[in-house]
A and B are shown apart, each in its own frame.
Chain A
Amino acid sequence: MPITRDEVAHLARLSRLALTDAELEHFAGQLEQIISAVARVQEVAADGIPPTTHALPITNVFRDDVITAQLGAPAALDQAPACEQDRFRVPRILAED
């Protein structure tokens, strides 16, 4: 399963990782190796086998609709890299949706 440098660049973009050219090169080789190793799962005959997404077959775990303790704005904003007017300050956002 060959994986190209361009594909790695696409994955890096989707994952929000600003990688250097050297990193892209390095990861492309490693990812190709890993992907061909994990592709072994495709050898397994699994027609009609349901997927397991949760280790245990439990259902319907709910909480009651009651209000619980809040952090308060000071604690919520305490670790923010930047804040202003009790809000998290973030760099300009490119586009809606």
Chain B
Amino acid sequence: MTELADVVGYDEAISRYEPVIGLETHVELGTASKMFCGSPTEFGAEPNTHVCPVCLGLPGSLPVINRAAIEYTIKIGLALNCSIASWCRFARKNYFYPDMPKNFQISQYDEPLCTDGWLDVTVGETQVRVGIERVHLEEDTGKSLHVGGATGRIHGAEYSLVDYNRAGIPLVEVVTKPIPGTGALAPAVARAYVTELRNLLRALDVSDVRMEEGSLRCDVNTSIAPRGSGTLGTRTETKNVNSLRSVERAVRSEIERQAAVLDAGRRVVQETRHFQEASGTTTAGRSKEEAQDYRYFPEPDLIPVAPSREWVEQLRASLPELPAARRARLQAEWGLPDLDMAALRNAGALDLVAETVAAGAPPDAARNWWLGELSRRANEAGVELAALAVNPAQVARVTELVASGTLNDKLARQVLDGVLSGEGSPDEIVAARGLAVVSDDGALLAAVDAAIAANPEVADKIKSGKINAAGALVGAVMRQTGGRADGARVRELILGRLAPDA
């Protein structure tokens, strides 16, 4: 296998080549039982405990379709604006592999349950309508553990150990149409698509969509062609790209690699490639030119699925509010311009703000806290906003305390400090740290008088009409009260004491 080591820089590659991408996303459905039998789907069980004769593919066993898996798939199809087949069959995809108990996979081949839909995704201010080719159902395979050899990987292993717990879990495959015309944004569009698909699946409550546990897995197709050539390049398929960041990196690195191949006057080989998390690049897998002959034929052990119109309409009526509609509604409710809305989404703050507002905070305040102070904290800590140790209800309570005058902004930040370091609820922290604003004039006047006495020359300036000098005295009062004073009131009191006619 000859591999070109060098790549062309991304900007240069994009200046001369036009990428076309496509994504195949596998989603393990969150049904209680497997696709064709009553074994549980729950993640993390002891090996080979979630198995029965059917999912172990024992001789004589037969599959029976899980109704919920069909319903989940139809819901996904409807949410992706697809047509739902009125009649379709499962097929057998025949190939030998030790993690596949029957040595064929039951899948939908040329008769998918859902076809021809779309999903809108946004990158910055650019909206891209991603065409959906098909949504079909199949069964997952078992998992192999490779033993011996240096790396625990398949190459160089002495033997493998197979666990069939995952075999037969319902797997939905969502396949996009080729996505052309995104230019330099191609990697970001790929990532935005997977993000939006994940949001959609989460809203539908059909999968736990955890990429790290493998319940959502991506294959990324990439091709490039010289700009303006009007041709389509040869595509590669990068397998098992298992994080959002990797989706973006995989597309980017394939564009760079393929540009180098074409620049060298060679042709891109149609093949499966594997994404290497460590380097952020892809390496060659099996060449598709020696393509498998899967010998598909209709699965004779299953009978056709024919969703009635009534059934489909019933499922359509049961769909929850979908992410795009929800965003449009929230934007309207909050009165936000597109740019601000985009900022919220980019920061991953939309749901947090929505929940904060739902917990009683004014939209502006909620947005300011999450995009401002809390985003800064998240950046400092190097974590996602949602991973901060503060929840929307707590933020809402802080905004409430500010609105009622119990806290000023500075105190509020101190309260959030306390929450983030696990000291308790905002109210507990206000009480424990004694952070409430001092608004009692008697107590404040004593501090004001002390500040005047300590700064006679400043007091004289104010008396002579230079009221801007009052800031220095306000600062002194704030220091004296540990920041708990209401600054505006302090200023009023100072100006009252030092009025020119006094």
A and B touch in the complex (CB under 8 A): yes
Cβ of A65 within 8 Å of any chain B Cβ, yes or no, is yes
Closest to A60 in B: B306
What 0/1 pattern do residues 302 to 321 of B give for CB contact below 8 A with A?
11111100000000000000
Cβ of A40 within 8 Å of any chain B Cβ, yes or no, is no
What 0/1 pattern do residues 69 to 91 of A give for CB contact below 8 A with B?
11111001100000011111111
Chain B proximity of A49: nearest CB distance (Å): 16
B305 lies within 8 A of A67 (CB): no
B-chain residues with CB within 8 Å of residue A72 when the two chains form the complex: 49
Closest to A16 in B: B96
A96 lies within 8 A of B274 (CB): yes
B300 lies within 8 A of A93 (CB): no
State A76–B101 Cα separation when bound (angstroms). Answer: 12
Contact pick for B64, options A62, A76, A77, A92, CB 8 Å: A62
B286 lies within 8 A of A66 (CB): no
Cβ of A59 within 8 Å of any chain B Cβ, yes or no, is yes
A interface secondary structure, majority: loop
State A61–B66 Cα separation when bound (angstroms). Answer: 9
A:43-63 near B, CB below 8 Å: 53-54, 58-63
Contact pick for B300, options A16, A54, A59, A69, CB 8 Å: A54
Total of A-B residue pairs, C-beta within 8 Å: 137
State A92–B163 Cα separation when bound (angstroms). Answer: 15
B interface secondary structure, majority: loop
Cβ of B52 within 8 Å of any chain A Cβ, yes or no, is yes
Chain B proximity of A80: nearest CB distance (Å): 9
Cβ of A14 within 8 Å of any chain B Cβ, yes or no, is yes
Cβ of A97 within 8 Å of any chain B Cβ, yes or no, is yes
Which candidate, B36-44, B76-84, B175-183, is the interface stretch facing chain A?
B36-44
A68 lies within 8 A of B162 (CB): no
What is the size category of the interface that chain A forms with chain B?
35 or more
A61 lies within 8 A of B64 (CB): yes
B-chain residues with CB within 8 Å of residue A76 when the two chains form the complex: 48-49, 51, 56, 164
Cβ of B160 within 8 Å of any chain A Cβ, yes or no, is yes
A87 lies within 8 A of B161 (CB): yes
B160 lies within 8 A of A90 (CB): yes
B160 lies within 8 A of A66 (CB): no
A70 lies within 8 A of B51 (CB): yes
Cβ of B333 within 8 Å of any chain A Cβ, yes or no, is no
Cβ of A64 within 8 Å of any chain B Cβ, yes or no, is yes
State A59–B39 Cα separation when bound (angstroms). Answer: 24
Contact pick for A53, options B47, B164, B295, B298, CB 8 Å: B298
A-chain residues with CB within 8 Å of residue B96 when the two chains form the complex: 16
B-chain residues with CB within 8 Å of residue A63 when the two chains form the complex: 38, 64-67
State A77–B146 Cα separation when bound (angstroms). Answer: 18
B-chain residues with CB within 8 Å of residue A59 when the two chains form the complex: 87, 303-306
Q: Contacts A14-B293, A84-B161 hold; do A71 and B154 have CB atoms under 8 A apart?
A: no
Q: Contacts A14-B293, A54-B303 hold; do A96 and B56 have CB atoms under 8 A apart?
A: no
Cβ of B500 within 8 Å of any chain A Cβ, yes or no, is no
A-chain residues with CB within 8 Å of residue B212 when the two chains form the complex: none
Chain A proximity of B132: nearest CB distance (Å): 24
Given contacts A66-B38, A68-B52, 19 further A-B contacts (CB under 8 A): A60-B303, A60-B304, A61-B65, A65-B31, A65-B67, A66-B33, A67-B39, A67-B40, A69-B52, A70-B39, A70-B40, A70-B50, A84-B161, A87-B161, A90-B161, A93-B160, A96-B239, A96-B285, A97-B285
Pick the 9 closest A-B CB pairs, nearest first: A68-B38, A87-B161, A65-B68, A62-B67, A59-B306, A53-B298, A88-B162, A63-B64, A86-B47
